[in-house]
Structure 1
Amino acid sequence: MEWINDLIFGSGVAHAIFVLALVISSGILLGKIKVFGVSLGITWILFVGIFLGHLGLGIDEHILHFIKEFGLILFIYSIGMQVGPSFFSSFKQGGITLNLLASSVVLLGVITTYVIHVVTGLPISTMVGILSGAVTNTPGLGAAQQTYYEVTGSQDPSIPMGYAVAYPLGVVGIILSLILFRTIFRINFAKENEAISNRDASKMTEAQMFSLQVLNPAIFGKTIHEIKNLTDKEFVISRLLQHDSGTLTVPLPDTLLNENDKILVVSNLQNIELIEALIGQKIDMDREAWNKLDSLLVSRRINVTKSGINGKSVGQLRLRNLFGVNITRVNRAGVDLVADPRLQLQLGDRVTVVGSEASIANVEKFLGNSLKRLREPNLISIFIGIALGVLVGSIPFMFPGIPQPVKLGLAGGPLIVAILVSKFGPKYGLVTYTTMSANLMLREVGIALFLACVGLGAGEGFVETVVNGGYRWIAYGAVITVVPLLIVGIVGRKVYKLNFFTLMGLIAGSMTDPPALSYANGIAGNDFPAVSYATVYPLTMFLRVISAQLMILLFL
């Protein structure tokens, strides 16, 4: 039975894989346990690793370091790919206010952490670990550890210890803050729902279908191309019912509109009144009524799966001229967008095409429409991005007042490159599409490996550290969690008059905390917390990673 002893307590590769698999699987099982509807989720992997590390179960130091860093890169890069497409658009419209408030939460957390560091004399590295746990941000923990190692050439076990001690109350503290705000502001959910029903910005920008009768004499006899040049509003005329002949057609840019013609228009809700004023009167005629007029015309959603289409605009494809069909909408990540000629298509988009059966069959071949193609992972873009991320993260930057050169590291570099690649890659023909399940798998594997390694590395002295004063870290973490949320929450509600549902999503997003979002969605009964969470999440995640690194570099 010596082989069992070698497998469990040895030092080889098989031993390392066995221990990691044991830690991860046990942590995931424990993560399914909920107390008062709240679970620590995948963070249980960290606690299991600490427990087994305390019992003396460890793996080779070099193997541990490599797997931890590689897991961190996979996790960070996957997050960047997920948030990249919405990173820059999150600053538009009301997103600027939400992102400023979320950034304030990050900044106040950093200031509170530094004040506690000055008052208590705790090392800044320990305080950064407590900060990462208090705000439930694992990438910040990874960035701090990696930066500390680059600066000193050694590991500081107090960083993951501080994270582990502060994390549980961090999760609970965020949810308690939401409950406290509900009491302080005397929230009435019925009034909150009524207040947002008339200003749902996400609905206003989604593609909608409506019918018009051509009644404006100024456009009689003009082509669709000429009419669209009269306004800067985006709209697509999907079908045309000619008044004189009763013929139903898919209009082309040079198709003429005449008096009393009826058209089916696709545009944003916010544009309807202006388009109605330009063309004519809105009529009660839905899509089903149009479908009954002519069975030869069909509407179908087609998946863009050919890499040659990636990054090309709707206008560049010239589908109307080539196939006599009309693209009316583009569904991307569950949201319908108006098929404006300037809109660039990406692999994985689903376009709604109107035309004859034969024409649509040709368009399917042109665009690909192969689900099998979408399921194939684009590994080349992933590993090119990781290589560029490591390269960028290794570039040293010198700043006045900082003795050590500043590097983005294995956390910051891949994060920035992933955001840029996922946003701008399609424009230059780089296929960056991965299915949501593939991205989630890569992300979860990365974070699981990282947390397991962090726990095993910190387990040896964890109990001793907590007993010898580490229990105070729990209180420090609670202060770091609650103080920024109270300040920004009150400002957001009283000064910026944020809806409570939006405020809940803002708070959860500023802490990058899924359990808090789950709680907010549950009591709200709508998707407004999720919308504001998604709005602030990209920038917040970026700031959490960078601020953790800067605190180590500036104050170590």
Structure 2
Amino acid sequence: MELFDWFVQTCRDNPSIPIFLTIGVGFWIGSLKYKGFSLGVVTSVLLVGVLVGQMDITIPGPIKNVFFLLFLFAIGYSVGPQFFRALRGDGIKQVLFAVVLCMLCLFVTWGVAKVMGYNVGEAAGLFSGAQTISAVIGVGTDTVGTLGVSAAQKKAWIDIIPVAYAVCYVFGTIGSAYILANLGPLMLGGIKKVKADTAALEKEMNESSLTSDPAYIIANRPVAFRAYSVTADFFDSPQTVARIEEHLKSEGKRLFIERVRSGGNIIDPKPDLLISKGDEIVLSGRREYIVEDESWIGPEVNDAELLDFPAEQIPVMITKKTVAGLTVDQLRAQKYMYGVSIKSIDRGGVGVPVFAKTKLMAGDILTLVGLSSEVNTAAPKLGYVDRPKNSSDLVLVGLGIVIGCLIGVLSIHAGNIPISLSTSGGTLIAGLVFGWLRSKHPTFGRIPKEALWLMNNLGLNMFIAVIGITSGPSFISGIKEVGFDLFLAGIVCTSLPLILGVIIGHKIFKFRPAINLGCCAGGRTTTAALGAVQESLGSTLPAMGYTVTYAVGNTLLILMGVAIVLMTV
């Protein structure tokens, strides 16, 4: 008992200890799964924080705000390129859909809150949990702090926000995945029909007017370099490199001859170089197609010297106007792409399928694979070679957050109610702008993906940990106050916008089923639902509807945390 008392007093005297205890245990619990079910990291951190908070620990206020602003800036920076380009590009249809879906989320939640007589804090927590937008806990808290009510009233509303969030979040996550992966296909004609349409759309997306290459079907196909001894009858008469590659293309295989051993000498191939029986050649391309080529070339050989040459895999951010807007098919037809394979396309952190008709956007990061000479010739034609680095531009982060906060504190008055973006909303907007600017001018403001992940996850969960610890003493009484009715209200607020969204996407926006479901997942910013939909359909195609709507939804739903508070006052 004395040891426990000592531990409690130590935590009270050193608030950093309970914070990191909450983070460590919360992340561990959040990683656990039972039959596919997981509480998720944010909810786990919150609940562990509530438990730790029973020790009645006081934590200085600025800590949680600092980390929350870091999180918001990272979110804005990540989605900024897709957000602004979608507003003036071909993605405008998906942008409009995301706006409609977010408005449904806001007004359904507001209507339910009004019918149930919920106060400001309950409404904000209901919105945050049911729509699984954890950042609204912070945005709502900041907005409540600007209201012209008593300090006691503010505290009561702020304390109930995380309670209501915790009650509604579990179904918000599980329910969203179930609705979109199971109910959604039923609403669109049944799972068999949706799968058939998805397969047909994949085929359409992969049809090429410029090449018969089927290698675009799925991203992340391994690219390999293999050596073969030329012995097949095809080479009874010598064949040029250009003729061999043309033959491969006619067979639906985009492969390249990278090296040749002839007469004991290793030669870099040229189009008119003749290949004869007894020579050895190195092919590059998708592994499954290279392996198939023994039948008409000859047996594979393990020639270490022949295969000892510099191959490279580099990420390139598309910044050139001549490339943005091209399809993968059109890009592959460019002369400078000879010998270069596109391994994957990353759009705002989400892998986009490498189909022939996949349209490339500025800010996309393409992973190119090929010989160093070929890759380094192609990369500058596409944009900026975004080679991995450990350092982050903290000048951009620091000053960006300052600028956002200064913009956010500016307010106008509607009657007696001050209206502003708050420091939270201002920081999010700053992140959007600076993320977009970085995609336009990639020589500055680099924040590696790993650093963004840390800013995002640690930033939000450090904030949530402090919220849980400080609200711990009143959390149990809060649960009793909101009751089971709030859980049912959360089911309505989660389900109704998604069901209406699927119908609107189908009837009004005329999205194909896979794209429709991806748009719904993106507009609601529910990555878990995207994964469930892709698993249900057996296709990565829904990601084509996810990226643009996610960028818009993530921004609007966070800012709507301000709106739900002001609408419920």
Q: TM-score, normalised on structure 2?
A: 0.69
Q: Structure 1 residues 513, 264: CA separation in 2 closer, same or farther (over 3 Å shift)?
A: same
Aligned to 1:528: 541
Q: What corresponds to 2:36 in structure 1?
A: 37
2:101 to 102, 105, 118: 105
TM-superposed deviation, 1:19: 0.3
| 8 Å Cα contact 1:23/1:45 also seen in 2 | yes
Query: Shift in Å at residue 71 of structure 1?
Result: 1.8
Question: C-alpha distance in 2, partners of 1:496/1:356?
Answer: 45
Cα deviation code 1:9-61 (max 9, x no counterpart):
3576x6211101111112122212324412121121111112332x234233x
**Judging changes above 3 Å, is the alpha-carbon distance between structure 1 residues 110 and 370 closer, same or farther for their aligned structure 2 residues?**
closer
In 1, distance between residues paired with 2:430 and 2:107? Answer: 28
Q: CA deviation at 1:151?
A: 2.8
**Quick one: which amino acid aligns to residue 174 of structure 1?**
S
Paired amino acid for 2:28: L
1:148-163 matches, cutoff 5 A: 148-152=144-148, 154-155=154-155, 156-163=158-165
Deviation at 1:283, TM superposition (A): 6.4
Q: Hey, what's the Cα distance between the residues in 1 that align with 2:553 and 2:439?
A: 25
Would the aligned equivalents of 2:77 and 2:432 in 1 still touch at CA under 8 Å?
yes
Report if the CA contact (8 A) 1:134-1:477 is conserved: yes
The count of corresponding residues between Structure 1 and Structure 2 is 466
State how far apart, in whole Å, the 2-side matches of 1:468 and 1:345 are: 47
Matched, 1:131 2:127: yes
2:476 counterpart SS class = helix
Question: Structure 1 101/247 Cα, relative in aligned 2: closer, same or farther at 3 Å?
Answer: same
Distance 1:159 1:205, change over 3 A: farther
Residues 543 and 9 (structure 1), Cα distance of their counterparts in 2 relative to 1, 3 Å cut: same
What is the Cα-based RMSD across aligned positions, in Å? 4.3
- Describe the superposition over 1:160-197 as per-residue Cα deviations: whole angstroms up to 9, x where unpaired: 211111111222221332323334444233x4344244
Matches within 5 A, 1:19-98: 19-42=18-41, 43-53=43-53, 55-60=54-59, 63=60, 65-91=61-87, 95-98=91-94
Residue 273 of structure 1: aligned partner:
none
Cα separation, 2, equivalents of 1:472 and 1:165: 10
Q: 2:498, 2:520 within 8 Å by CA — same for their partners in 1?
A: yes
Q: Which amino acid aligns with 1:187?
A: G
Alignment equivalent of 2:175, drawn from 170, 173, 187 = 173
Contact in 1 for aligned 2:522/2:530 (Cα 8 Å): yes
Q: What is the CA distance between 1:207 and its match in structure 2?
A: 12
Tell me the secondary structure at the aligned position of residue 565 of structure 2. Answer: helix
Alignment-mate amino acid for residue 444 of structure 1: N
Question: Structure 2 matches for 1:274-353, cutoff 5 A?
Answer: 288=255, 291=258, 295=268, 301=312, 303=314, 326=336, 333=346
- Secondary structure, aligned partner of 1:30: helix
In 2, distance between residues paired with 1:196 and 1:52?
48
Partner of 1:388: 403
- Name 1:9's counterpart in structure 2: 9
| Cα distance change of structure 1 residues 344 and 137 upon mapping to structure 2, 3 Å threshold | closer
The CA distance in 2 between the partners of 1:4 and 1:351, in whole Å, is: 57
Q: How far apart in 2 are the matches of 1:415 and 1:9?
A: 37
Q: Which residue does 1:240 correspond to in 2?
A: none
1:480 partnered with 2:493: yes
CA distance in 2, matches of 1:491, 1:416: 29
Secondary structure at the counterpart of residue 147 of structure 2 = helix
CA drift of 1:446 comes to 0.6
How far, CA to CA, are the matches of 2:71 and 2:510 in structure 1?
A: 36
Aligned mates of 2:455, 2:207 — CA distance in 1: 32
Residues in 2 aligned to 1:73 and 1:45: alpha-carbon distance in whole angstroms: 18
| Residues 210, 202 of structure 1: alpha-carbon distance in 2 compared, 3 angstrom cutoff | closer
Q: 1:140 aligns with which of 124, 136, 139?
A: 136
Moved more, 127-136 or 511-520: 511-520
2:438 corresponds to which of 417, 425, 429: 425
What amino acid is aligned across from residue 408 of structure 2 in structure 1? Answer: G
Residues 465 and 427 from structure 1, CA distance in 2 versus in 1: closer, same or farther, beyond 3 angstroms? closer
Return closer, same or farther for 1:547/1:295 CA change in 2, 3 Å cut-off.
same
Question: How far off its partner does 1:443 sit?
Answer: 1.0
State the alpha-carbon separation in 2 of the partners of residues 127 and 198 from structure 1. Answer: 43
CA separation in 1, counterparts of 2:208 and 2:24?
A: 42
Residues in 2 aligned to 1:345 and 1:113: alpha-carbon distance in whole angstroms: 34
Work out whether residues 123 and 568 of structure 2, in 8 Å CA contact, stay in contact via their aligned partners in 1.
no
**Matches of 2:138 and 2:167, distance apart in 1:** 16
Read off the aligned partner of 2:472 and give its amino acid letter: G
The 1:349/1:547 distance shift into structure 2, 3 A limit, reads same
Relative to structure 1, is the Cα distance of residues 355 and 21 closer, same or farther in structure 2, using a 3 angstrom cutoff? closer
User: SS of the counterpart of 2:104?
Assistant: helix
Q: Distance in 2 between matches of 1:467 and 1:345?
A: 48
What is the CA-CA distance between 1:536 and the residue it aligns to?
A: 0.8
Secondary structure of the 1:406 match is strand
How far apart, CA to CA, are the structure 1 residues paired with 2:253 and 2:139? 54
Deviation at 1:131? 1.1
Could you list the per-position Cα deviations for residues 311-366 of structure 1 after superposition, in whole angstroms to 9, with x for gaps in the alignment? Answer: 78789xxxxxxxxx94667876367899xxx99899x8766788969x969x99xx
Give the letter for the 1:386 counterpart: I
The residue type equivalent to 2:18 in the other structure is: V
Q: Distance in 1 between matches of 2:491 and 2:477?
A: 21
Task: List runs of 5+ in structure 2 lacking aligned partners.
Answer: 214-238, 261-266, 271-308, 324-334
Q: Map residues 432-471 of structure 1 onto 2, 5 A cutoff.
A: 432-471=445-484
Contact 2:108–2:493 (CA under 8 A) maintained in structure 1:
yes
| Cα separation, 2, equivalents of 1:201 and 1:378 | 42
| 1:252 aligned partner | none
Matched residue of 1:163: which SS?
A: helix
Query: Equivalents in 2 of 1:82, 1:507: separation in Å?
Result: 20
Partner of residue 274, structure 1? none
Rounded Cα–Cα distance in structure 2 between residues aligned with 1:344 and 1:185: 33
In structure 2, relative to structure 1, the CA distance for the partners of 1:449 and 1:207 (3 Å cut) is farther
Give per-residue Cα distances to partners, 1:264-298, cap 9 Å, x unaligned: 99xxxxxxxxxxxxxxxx96796545646972569
Please list the CA deviations of residues 375-402 of structure 1 after superposition, one character each: whole Å capped at 9, or x if unmatched: 3323222223222222222233x26x35
**Aligned equivalents of 1:471 and 1:101: distance in 2?**
32
After superposition, the Cα gap between the structure-2 partners of 1:81 and 1:205, relative to the gap in structure 1 and judged at 3 Å, is farther
Q: Secondary structure of 2:477's partner?
A: helix
Structure 1, gaps ≥5 residues long:
212-245, 249-260, 266-281, 316-324
Q: Which amino acid aligns with 2:175?
A: G
Residue number in structure 2 paired with 1:188: 191
1:549 aligns with: 562
Q: Structure 1 residue 100: deviation in Å? A: 2.7
Percent identity of paired positions between Structure 1 and Structure 2 = 23
C-alpha change, 1:6 and 1:70, in structure 2 (3 Å) is: farther
Structure 1 residues 207 and 370, CA gap change in structure 2 (3 angstroms):
farther
- In structure 2, what is the Cα distance between the partners aligned to 1:176 and 1:285? 39
Q: 2:177, 2:252 → 1: CA distance?
A: 47
Supply the distance in 1 between the matched residues of 2:100 and 2:123 (Cα, whole angstroms): 19
